[in-house]
Amino acid sequence: MKNNNPKGILYILVGMAIFSIQDAMIKFVYADTALYELYFGRTLTAIILLTSYLLFTKQKIILKTYYPFLTIFRVICFFFGFSLFYVSITFMSLAMANALFFSSPFFISILAMLFLKEQIGIRRWTAIFVGFIGVYVVLNPDLKNFKLISLAPVGCALCYATSMTITKITSDKDNIYTQMIHLYIGAITISMLFFIFTGKGQFNTFTDPAYQFIFREWFTNPMYAWPIIITMGVTATFSFYFVFSAYSIASPSVVSLFEYSLIIWSIITGYLLFNDIPTIRTFIGVIIIISAGIYIYIREKVREQYIATKNPIR
């Protein structure tokens, strides 16, 4: 029964704190590894820990899905969505990247209306519109010098929203562990394809650090990078454990509000580790995004029509 809200809130706060540490590790290691080398190592560690947990608790490992096409599409969206997020951390502060990622509830609401036939009233449409104003404020675009790659966290939010919309359908028959294993197997497979075709760094002709991160040769500094990558896999696994535990023991409409603590943790982590201090404009945009997201959650609870609050944001 979902009735232990205090414990659920504690779990979600811990999970978000660990996620902020994982994100910080990317900043430490991105200059010494390739994006999909990092993705491969992190995911390999996570799937080993997940399968070990399932075997230890004597739970059956189920690979079969009742929705093969949707599962493949969900895996692709999730993989490339977080690829964009990892890239964004190379040139953005942790707080800015996570603030922009939290536009995902706005996309989830829109996609739920389009594909799940959910009803969205004028109040939630207004909140979505205001939320995107917050995204604009955070981005602070200079149209003369604006780079498309600056939209990477927003692209991640859209891909993630698509993945979560599909999850709402596939969860009808596929359990959560099956869906997580699909994500991990898909990420490992796609990462290996990138290794086969780009792993020697033959396409790394860029001077921009973000693009170098994508196309850099694999295993250029494994003694430094891989301990951090493996630690990322471990922290990600613990983060997901706390987040999914929170949603299982408490009301999603309650604990989902506390996912925004990730932005606060990111501000603290960014300041302590990288001396990143968000601008006043960024703070204003963050407040707008959080306020719009919370209002969407409140309206969902009032109407008992849960869309964005159904699944964890991270």
- How much is the pLDDT for 304? 63
Whether the model clears a pTM of 0.85, i.e. scores above it, the answer is: yes
Give the integer Cα–Cα distance in Å for 149 and 146. 9
Share of the chain above pLDDT 90, in %: 68
The sign of the CA dihedral 278, 270, 235, 199 is positive
- How much is the pLDDT for 275? 93
Q: Mind listing the pLDDT tens digit for each residue in 126-140?
A: 999 999 999 999 998
Q: For 298-301, which contacts have Cβ atoms below 8 Å and span 24 or more sequence positions?
A: 299/121, 299/123, 299/124, 299/127, 300/124, 300/253, 301/253
Q: Mind listing the pLDDT tens digit for each residue in 49-62?
A: 999 999 999 999 99
What lies within 8 Å, CB to CB, of 143 at 6+ separation is none
- How much is the pLDDT for 167? 85
**CA-wise closest residue to 186 among 39, 30, 297, 301:** 39
What is the residue whose two structure tokens read 């692209």? 155
- Whether residue 143 is predicted with pLDDT greater than 70 in this model: the reply is no
Mean pLDDT value across the chain: 90
What is the residue whose two structure tokens read 């994500």? 183
Average pLDDT over residues 61-71: 94
